[in-house]
Amino acid sequence: MSRRSSEQWGRAGITADPVSVDVLVPTRNRPAELAVTLAGLAAQSKPAFRVLVSDQSTELPDWQHPAAAAMVRVLQAQGRPVLLLRHVPRRGLAEHRQFLLDHSDADKCMFLDDDVWLEPGALDRLSEALDKLQCGFVGMAPQGLSYLDDRRPDQTRVFEPWNGPVVPEVMRQESPGFNRWPLHSAANLSHLSADLGLQPDEWMPYRVAWLGGCTMYRRQALNESGGFRFWPRLPPEHAGEDVLAQWQVMERFGGAGILPSGAVHLESPTTVPDRSVEAYEAIHSSDRENITPEITGKESTEMNNTPNPIQIQKFLGGVDYPADRGALLAKAKDSGADENVLRALESLPDKSYDSPTAVSSAISDATG
């Protein structure tokens, strides 16, 4: 039995089951959210797991909050090992994740953000999926349940189930698969699961651009793909480190999302307001600079000046879709887009676009 029930909490000498999953939780200045996250873990029955919490709070560690401390005691009474780590000074998200990964020794490790609650059975479903699919990672994109009445068919139409084995994919911002990113917005996966008629204990793998918040890896696959060891190449203030790590794993071992998603986003304000540096953009841009000295003249200028879809989308936030080329250009100009972005939008066919995905796809076609 993986979890001790309450009649066993006071008994001594009960041997815990061998741990098969390390749950890695980085946290900072979120004591209430951490308590909810730990409560979700306490509701998991199997497999046997250990919890590692690494704290970078500016004052007292989050786990000292009474609610979080109570959940730590519940987990320990259940027979779950809990390791509480204080890791300062801050060197950025990627370094923090690598620190946790270096402390993990289970066959599987799951990065769980400190603002995600898991429904009972979610951990077992992820572990089962990783065993059956034999890919590098599986994950559940957290759902914002405040959006349950907000259906977004323009975003869910990019859903692609894995029919057959999960195979490696090369994912970049210019890849067609990158256009799957809106799928994980709002409560889209909850709507998809209902529309697909998934039954209790039934799950389905699907293709992803990346997964945030709740991702389980084969630890060896993550380490062999480099983990988060790229962190020294980034400034302390950055985001997108999980995207880059997953792309590295996807390229060698493949990865999949899992429906239904039993992960719920607490919808708390972000603790990473400065997202001006995206890890995958910074690292890939640096790599391109280092490997393209033989490309010169006009070809090099075109490569450096061509914005990718995600860079363009930064200037299109708030567009009221459907929108035509003129509306997209007007919004981009109002948002301060540079000449390269405006030139890319001007190259689009003059028609109506019903979603950000449609715009990104058309940009990829026009600049490819």
pLDDT averaged per 10 residues, the chain (length 368) = 86 83 98 98 96 97 97 96 96 97 98 98 98 98 97 95 95 93 96 93 96 97 97 95 97 97 95 86 75 42 50 71 88 82 87 74 62
How many structural domains compose the chain?
2
Q: Which residues pair with 364 in a beta bridge?
A: none
Instruction: Tell me whether residue 283 is in a domain.
Output: no
pTM of structure: 0.79
Residues 299 and 348 in one domain: yes
Residue 357 confidence (pLDDT): 60
Amino acid at 136: G
Statement to judge: residues 230 and 350 lie in one domain:
no
Query: Residue length, the chain?
Result: 368
- Answer yes or no: do 220 and 319 share one domain: no
Considering the domain boundaries, does residue 274 fall inside one?
no
Residue 59 resides in a domain: yes
Pairing of strands 82-86, 49-55: parallel
316 vs 325: CA distance, rounded Å: 12
Specify whether the CB–CB gap between 213 and 113 falls below 8 A: yes
Residues 140 and 38 grouped into a single domain: yes
Q: What is the DSSP letter of 295?
A: -
In a domain, 128, yes or no: yes
280 inside domain: no
In this structure, the answer to whether residues 102 and 211 fall within a common structural domain is: yes
Q: Would residue 43 count as lying in a domain?
A: yes
* CATH number for the domain that contains residue 29: 3.90.550.10
CB 165 within 8 A of CB 133: yes
Is 288 within the bounds of a domain?
no
Which residue carries 């009221």 as its tokens?
320
Q: Do 58 and 177 have their domain in common? A: yes
Q: Which pLDDT value is given to residue 17?
A: 81
Question: To the nearest 5 percent, what fractions of the chain are helix, strand and coil?
Answer: 40, 15, 45
Question: What are the structure tokens assigned to 22, written together?
Answer: 């390390």
Please say whether the beta carbons of 365 and 348 come within 8 A.
no
Residues 252 and 134 in one domain: yes
Residue 99 tokens read as 């620190």
Instruction: Report which of 356, 365, 359, 314 is spatially closest to residue 155, judged by C-alpha positions.
Output: 356
pLDDT of residue 305: 53
Given this model, what pLDDT does residue 71 score? 98
The answer to whether position 33 is within a domain reads yes
Q: In this structure, are 54 and 120 located in the same domain?
A: yes
Tokens (6 digits) for 50:
């250990």
Segments forming the whole domain that contains residue 48:
16-265
Whether the Cβ atoms of residue 285 and residue 165 lie closer than 8 Å to each other: no
202 phi and psi, to 5 degrees? Answer: -95, 140
Q: CA-CA distance, 86 to 72, in Å (whole number)?
A: 15
Are 239 and 322 members of one domain?
A: no
Q: Verify that 124 and 26 share a domain, yes or no.
A: yes
Together in a domain, 21 and 80 = yes
- Quickly list H helices, 150-236: 153-156, 188-196, 219-224
Q: Do 118 and 211 sit in the same domain of this protein?
A: yes
